[in-house]
Chain A
Amino acid sequence: MVKLIIDGISVEAAEGTTILNAARSVGINIPTLCYFDKINDIGACRVCVCEIKGSDKLAAACNTVVSEGIEVYTNSPRVRAARKINVELILSTHNCDCVACVRSGNCALQTIANDLNIRTVHYENKPARNDWDETLPLQRDASKCISCMRCVNVCDRLQGLSVWEVNGSGSRAKVTVRDGLGISEAGCAFCGQCITHCPTGALTARDDTDIVFDAIEDADTVTIMQIAPAVRSAWADSLGIDAAIATEKRMVAAAKALGVDYVFDTDFAADLTIMEEASELIERLTKGSGAMPMFTSCCPGWVRFMRYNYPELAENLSSAKSPQQMFGAIAKTYFAEKMGIDPARICCISVMPCSSKKYECDVPEINATAKDVDVVITTRELARMLKANHVNVATLEETEFDSPLGTGSGAGVIFGATGGVMEAALRTAYNMLTGTNPDADAFKVVRGKSGIREAEVSVNGTTLRAAVVSGLANARELLDSIKSGKASYDFVEVMACPGGCAGGGGQPITDGVELASERSKKLYVLDSKSTLRFSHENPEIKALYESYLEKPLSHKAHELLHTDHKNWTL
């Protein structure tokens, strides 16, 4: 242990602890800006600088480790002056058009500038020029970039893609897409992790709320909204309401308050995905009908990653479409027929914790109908629509999802957490192989926080080797060990975002915090409280097969619910 003094308080910290964390351990919050725990500790913004007694210059608290006996001042006049000027300098490079910024009120730069009581910037405002294709799911406004480099390190360390880089030197050093490529050529997964780690409004997902508003207002259009499992864990984060009020059923009520005609649950489609995917897994296992190991395919970020980096393994992806796309296909066929609605009049809206889903719905090869899913909005956009419409969420009565695409099992809910697809599939595969249900929590061994988890589960005397991965850098590590023969599995679940969809790139942003784990807990609670824990027991799924699809992997099911990921336009 190292002893030091911070702002007059004696502190003991383990060797190697940063001054920042040592200070936090005694309740002293040193302000930071570019810093992000475990991802970005490069000391670039110099906002966290501190004075060490006897020193000639200030030190960055985020990446200076404690030394024995030092006296640190986190708020001396020298520190305050440097900190304030550094923030002013950053502001001089930033497009300070805050009123019209999507991150206004949730911007780390705005917060620090306000906290430091900056009322005048003494320097000319010279933001970078913006130059970006506005049709892409991932949007970047260079004029708001403060070169904190979080995106560079998130993409590099967390996602192993290195889409972003720093180019040029001196005042012209700037964050760009790697090697001078356009974002569409750089192998970007559109996972959106750079968005959720961006402290400002420089990186955002394309805003599609106007399309949804227009559809709702159009009297001829039937609007159907599906809401993904992970959305319910975070939908009200920015609405300023109590967690106890932000229930799943109140989310349904809020969506209805926007004026959509039907609000359905993607959990229903997740159950449908499980029926198809578990059947496919069993076929591959027992009949050798496809490449092994089989990979889940419900995450478009992961599919893009694989297509760019391991195209030779793309045939290992399950051919099952993602729940979002299965939902769209069923809504525009089964549901439309059942309700007697012309599918051309339906606008299928999905609310997703994801930015890559905006890409997925536009993949030309994915549609079983003219367009299975018409528009995707993120969890953040849903919240923005609620605010724009002045929906007073707290006063809404809890409401059930609509039927017949509104019932989801607990197995469907946990799709939103890493390991959830695996666990849900195992529950149903077990039933398909043995004719009986396992204990609903029999496969909880695949739950967890670590980026790569392995489990062996025994079904009917056969051992199934499973792996669960989240975060694309981890996916790369796992694929490399599969390719080199170091590891061997039967079934692998991959989610592009660390922690799964709960930590998705479309989820609400709380600067500096990773919330996937906390949000996943909510989903597991919903699962455990559900009376329906198995996808194959979902009555609406049963009815769908009985009256329409016949059985999993049937001709009709293939037509509507499967895709060849190898042919997707990237």
Chain B
Amino acid sequence: MSRLEVTSTAKAERTARTLYDSLSRRISASPVGNCPVELTSAFLKLCLAQSCGKCVPCRVGLDRLSALVDGLLDGKGSRKTLDVIESTARAIADSSDCAIGFEAAKLVLDGMAAFRDDYISHLEKGRCTANFASVPCTVECPAHVDIPAYIALTGEGRYADAIRVIRKDNPFPAVCGLVCEHPCEHHCRRSTVDSAVNIRGLKRYAIDNAGVVPAPECAPATGKTVAVIGGGPAGLTAAYYLALMGHKVTVYEQRTRLGGMLRYGIPLYRLPDEYLDADIDVILSLGIEVKLGVKIGRDITLDELRRDYDSVYISIGAHADKKLRIDGEDADGVISAVELLGGIGDRQIPDFTGKNVVIVGGGNVAMDVTRTSMRLGAKSVKCLYRRRIEDMTALPEEIEGAIAEGCEIIPLMAPSYVAVENGKVKGLVVKPQVIGSYNRGRPMPYNANRPEITVDCDIIIVAIGQAIESKHFAESGAPLAWDQIDATKSGAVPGLDGVFSGGDCVSGPSTVIKAIEAGKVAAANIDEYLGFHTEIKLDVEVPVATYKFKPACGRVNNSEREADERKHDFALMEKPMTEEEAMQECSRCLRCDHYGCATLKGGRVNKW
């Protein structure tokens, strides 16, 4: 026997590791609408398998807890059982020796708090309150686009039909092909095999190859009129579907061009005008009237619109900036992200040549202005964030892209004040931070026991969120929650009959696909409000799922133009898939609209 040995991983252990990897992919692809109590029971068994068996609470407690939960699922027990489950879990959480035990118990406690109704329903009615959703991507897409259908159509080269399928639920296929945050991919069942299908990339491939696909015919004119305030994604989506339903729509836009944040918030290198205009052209082809440069509350009031139209939709977005509220913020050289990107949308392109630029913020907008600053010729670009890089809400690929282009991300720095000289920015003084304990699911930073640092710079861009200019609407009677319009889930604005609202001005700054969802929901409910029930439907025959051998196969990611080249211009950064890449990617789709519970619960919604 040697005194010490170099560890080598045994085959069984290696296989176990692979199983864990596979399991974690599987968990990440968990179907939507599973029974949460069943899931708790399963997690408990997994936790028990991880237990070493030394300590009582973990070894015995988790097993008994699991039996109690299982019994409850089988209709055994009473309200008392719920108390026993809860007190047992608390005791395990309190007294386990290591994290394997106490984290397992915490899972049960958190679950009981979150799905208590479901526990009670199982207990008293023998029923689960959850509703197993059939097609994960379609369910996760806020607009519920029929994704398996358009992937199948794209795979057959029927690109125009693919676009028609998308437009049934989302009139911005070109925009979303480039900038959608693709929540559809989060629970893609393909992840249980290897990794999610590149859904957004395929949408772009279809758009790039479809040519101009005209809008469908509008329903006969109803004689009803709707005013849409704000020509962003929510407003234009509502306008598109309302026009298809036969209503006469007028869009009021305070700026000089339509598009809202798509035009004034997303940089051109991510969303060139021709893509945005392609979608807007089709939307406007339905005969929607547009009034540019009209601001509600200044040029015309909400009350006047309510008088002149049968219904009004408020979708003004979130276009005001948020301040850091630190000394020196009013100095020359401090600008907001909204101001910079909005100006570029109107083709007022500043020159940052030779300037040192500092950005404050950690979201996608912060990355947009960081990378825009580089393209404006800045000598140096530094993005400061008060948490760690992994805590940034920006997409990882945006952060990596910025770094590749030569931008610097400096984490764990909180702005203290702006150093000003002759009224101009000289630098940003920051306090170093230490990442600390969790609050509401995120670790909170606190001031480090280190001196402040000055980051020299000429320009500071504040990208810490946007505010909503909702004052006029509040004065007209719209209820607010903070600065957001407090509309119901149907989009109706309580107290203002016939007025609906949605998008960023209701939800706070969010994604384009959430705004599209809001517009779609509003269109349906405005149509009902006007006394109609005109359905949006589609007659595209979707290729039937045929049996195909689908072994594990790597996901094709869209590549980007080389950093050195792209950082100098505003041309589209992302490269399309090649035909062979797109066809392979299409073939990776597992057709959850046919396989699994879709055949039972309906894999396709042809109308809404």
Contacts and interface: CB of A to CB of B under 8 A. Distances in A.
B348 to A, nearest CB: 54
A180 B547 contact: no
Contact of B38 (A67, A172, A176): A172
Instruction: Indicate the member of A52, A70, A169, A173 with the most B CB atoms within 10 Å.
Output: A169
Interface stretch (A39-47, A256-264, A330-338, A355-363): A39-47
A176 B125 CA distance: 11
Contact of A180 (B127, B132, B549): B127
B223 interface: no
Contacts of B551: 56
A202 B130 CA distance: 25
Nearest to B130: A169
B34 interface: yes
A63 interface: yes
A172 B132 CA distance: 12
Given A167-B128, A169-B132, A170-B35, A67 B547 contact: yes
Interface string A44-71: 1000000010111001000111010010
Contacts of A172: 35, 38, 73-74, 128
Contacts of B326: none
Contacts of B601: 166
A55 B130 CA distance: 35
Given A56-B551, A168-B127, A172-B128, A16 B544 contact: yes
B600 A42 contact: yes
Contact of A170 (B38, B121, B547): B38
A87 interface: no
A67 B544 CA distance: 11
B599 A168 contact: no
B contact patch SS: loop
A169 B38 contact: yes
Nearest to B551: A56
A382 interface: no
Nearest to B544: A65
Interface residues of A, number: 28
A149 interface: yes
B45 interface: no
Nearest to B131: A167
Interface string B540-576: 0000101101110000000000000000000000000
Contacts of B74: 172
Contacts of A54: 549
Given A52-B547, A56-B549, A169-B132, A44 B38 contact: no
B129 to A, nearest CB: 9
B594 interface: yes
Given A64-B546, A65-B546, A70-B547, A176 B127 contact: yes
Given A41-B599, A42-B599, A169 B128 contact: yes
Interface string B512-554: 0000000000000000000000000000000010110111000
Contacts of A166: 132, 600-601
A460 B317 CA distance: 68
Interface in A117-168: 129, 149, 152-153, 166-168
Contacts of A70: 547
A169 B121 CA distance: 14
Contact of A169 (B34, B125, B544, B550): B34
A55 B34 contact: no
A168 B130 CA distance: 7
Given A16-B544, A55-B549, A67-B546, A149 B600 contact: yes
Contact of A167 (B75, B127, B549, B550): B127
B45 to A, nearest CB: 12
Interface in A1-58: 16, 41-44, 52, 54-56
Nearest to B533: A484
A554 B121 CA distance: 55
A227 to B, nearest CB: 39
Nearest to B132: A169
A63 B599 contact: yes
Interface string B20-43: 000000000000011100100000
Interface string B584-600: 00000000001000011
The 6 closest A-B pairs by CB, nearest first: A42-B599, A168-B128, A169-B35, A180-B127, A59-B547, A42-B600
Given A168-B35, A180-B125, 14 more contacts: A42-B600, A44-B600, A56-B550, A64-B546, A65-B546, A149-B600, A166-B600, A166-B601, A168-B38, A169-B34, A169-B128, A170-B34, A170-B35, A172-B74
28 contacts: A41-B599, A42-B599, A43-B599, A52-B547, A55-B547, A59-B547, A63-B599, A65-B544, A65-B546, A67-B547, A70-B547, A129-B75, A149-B600, A152-B600, A166-B132, A166-B600, A166-B601, A167-B128, A168-B127, A169-B34, A169-B38, A169-B132, A170-B34, A170-B35, A172-B38, A172-B128, A180-B121, A180-B127
Interface of A: 16, 41-44, 52, 54-56, 59, 63-65, 67, 70, 129, 149, 152-153, 166-170, 172-173, 176, 180
Interface of B: 33-35, 38, 73-75, 121, 125, 127-128, 130, 132, 544, 546-547, 549-551, 594, 599-601
